[in-house]
A and B are shown apart, each in its own frame.
Chain A
Amino acid sequence: MTTTAADVSAGLAPAPSTKSRSGPGKWQPWLFLFPFLIPFVLFYVAPIAYAFYQSLFKIERTGGIFGKPSQVFAGLSQYASVFSDQDFRASILRVLVFGIVQIPVMLLISLGLALLLDSTLVYFKRFLRISFFVPYGVPGVIAAIMWGFIYSPNLSPIVALLNKLNISIDFLGTHVVLWSIANVVTWTYAGYNMLIIYSALLSIPQEIFEAARLDGASNWDIARRIKIPSVAPALVLTGVFSIIGTLQLFTEAKVFTNISTAITSSYTPNLVVLAKAQNNYNQSAALSVTLAVGTFILSFLFLKLTNRRAGA
Chain B
Amino acid sequence: MLINVDGAITKPESAEPGRGPRENPVVVGISMVFMVAALFYFLLPVYILVVAATKAQPELATTSGLVPSSSFFINFGNLIARDDGVYLRWLLNSVIYAVGGAVLGTLLASLAGYALAKYKFRGRESMFNIILGGVLMPATALALPLFLIFTKVGLVNTYWAVLLPSIVSPFGVYLARIFASTAVPDELIEAGRLDGAGEFRIFFTIGTRLMAPALVTIFLFQFVAIWNNFFLPLIMLGDQDLYPVTLGLFAWQGTTKNVPELQTLVLTGSVVAVVPLVAMFLLLQRFWQSGLSAGAVK
Contacts and interface: CB of A to CB of B under 8 A. Distances in A.
A138 B46 contact: yes
Contacts of B64: 157, 160
Given A40-B134, A149-B48, A250-B231, A33 B127 contact: yes
B235 A274 contact: yes
Contacts of A214: 9, 12
Between B23, B165, B296, the greatest number of chain A beta carbons within 10 A of the residue's beta carbon is seen for B296
A133 B288 contact: yes
B120 to A, nearest CB: 5
B141 A295 contact: yes
Interface in A256-312: 258-259, 270, 273-274, 277, 281, 284-285, 288, 291-292, 295-296, 299-300
A57 to B, nearest CB: 12
| Main SS class of interface, A | helix
A251 B231 contact: yes
Given A206-B17, A285-B144, A128 B35 contact: yes
A118 B17 contact: yes
A7 B182 CA distance: 12
Interface string B114-133: 11100111001001000101
Nearest to A128: B35
Interface stretch (A17-25, A70-78, A84-92, A165-173): A17-25
Interface stretch (B70-78, B79-87, B211-219, B266-274): B266-274
A190 B74 CA distance: 35
B295 A237 contact: yes
Interface string A130-150: 111111111111100111011
Nearest to B246: A141
Nearest to B254: A258
A112 B105 CA distance: 35
B293 A202 contact: yes
A155 B140 contact: no
A81 interface: no
Interface residues of B, number: 111
Interface stretch (A100-108, A174-182, A193-201): A193-201
Given A138-B274, A233-B296, A123 B285 contact: no
Interface in B253-279: 253-254, 256, 266-267, 270, 273-274, 277-278
A270 B231 contact: yes
Given A44-B168, A145-B270, A157-B48, A137 B194 contact: no
B210 interface: no
A137 B296 contact: no
Contacts of A248: 138, 140-141
A119 interface: yes
A44 B149 CA distance: 12
A7 to B, nearest CB: 6
Contact of A43 (B27, B168, B278): B168
Nearest to A143: B45
B48 A43 contact: no
B190 interface: yes
A48 B145 contact: yes
Given A22-B194, A113-B38, A197-B296, A244 B136 contact: yes
Interface string A227-257: 0000101100100100011011011001100
A32 B111 contact: yes
A116 interface: yes
Contact of A50 (B23, B145, B181): B145
Contact of B111 (A26, A35, A251, A270): A35
Given A121-B27, A288-B144, A296-B136, A3 B230 contact: no
Q: What bracket does the count of chain A residues touching chain B fall in?
A: 35 or more
A304 B42 CA distance: 33
Given A113-B38, A250-B231, A234 B145 contact: no
A195 B288 contact: yes
Given A128-B39, A147-B45, A157-B66, A140 B230 contact: yes
A154 to B, nearest CB: 6
Contact of B138 (A29, A30, A138, A295): A295
B265 to A, nearest CB: 11
B165 to A, nearest CB: 4
A43 B23 contact: no
Given A10-B190, A36-B112, A24 B119 contact: yes
Given A213-B12, A240-B136, A155 B60 contact: yes
Contact of A11 (B112, B120, B280): B120
Interface of A: 3, 6-7, 10-12, 18, 22-24, 26, 28-33, 35-37, 39-40, 42-44, 46-48, 50-51, 54, 109, 112-113, 116, 118-125, 128, 130-142, 145-147, 149-150, 154-158, 160, 187, 190-192, 195-197, 199-200, 202-203, 206, 209-210, 213-214, 216, 219, 231, 233-234, 237, 240, 244-245, 247-248, 250-251, 254-255, 258-259, 270, 273-274, 277, 281, 284-285, 288, 291-292, 295-296, 299-300
29 contacts: A3-B185, A6-B190, A29-B121, A31-B200, A39-B167, A43-B164, A44-B137, A47-B146, A120-B20, A121-B23, A121-B31, A122-B32, A128-B38, A133-B281, A138-B278, A141-B247, A142-B249, A142-B273, A149-B52, A199-B293, A210-B12, A216-B9, A237-B296, A247-B138, A273-B144, A281-B148, A284-B144, A292-B141, A295-B141
Closest 4 pairs between A and B when the two form their complex, measured CB to CB: A157-B65, A199-B293, A32-B115, A51-B145
